[in-house]
Amino acid sequence: MFAVVNIAGQQLKVSPGERVFVPKLTAAVGSTVKFDRVLLMADETNVQVGNPFLKNKSIAAKVLGTIKDDKVTVFKKKRRKGYRLQRGHRQQYTEIEITTIG
């Protein structure tokens, strides 16, 4: 069984027991979050497609923790002008484990 769910603007294919990294959520570590923007659900026999979302269907997940991605460095320079600018960014993600689909 699997489902396609919209989490923070990203469409992810998830199945029970799977660990997924999503953009940072405000939920506390160890808490359970519920996502109700389910686009598609499928099992061995049938497929349900929403228009755009399925009604009365949701995904439950447990929050495992937050991490930071690798640093991305942005460097700007203009020749012969003495202009240099260096900035960095580290995107934060939340690791969740899908517990139930239904």
Question: Under a CB-based contact definition with an 8 Å cutoff, are residues 10 and 1 in contact?
Answer: no
The pLDDT score that the predictor gives to residue 62 is: 97
Q: Number of structural domains, the chain?
A: 1
Domain that holds residue 86: 2-101
The band of 87, judged by pLDDT with boundaries at 50, 70 and 90, is very high
The pLDDT score that the predictor gives to residue 2 is: 96
Q: Is the pTM of this model over 0.85?
A: no
d(CA 92, CA 65): 11
Q: Read off the pLDDT of residues 32-85 as tens digits, 9 standing for 90 and up.
A: 999 999 999 999 999 999 999 999 999 999 999 999 999 999 999 999 999 999
Q: Is the per-residue pLDDT at 102 higher than 90?
A: no
d(CA 75, CA 100): 44
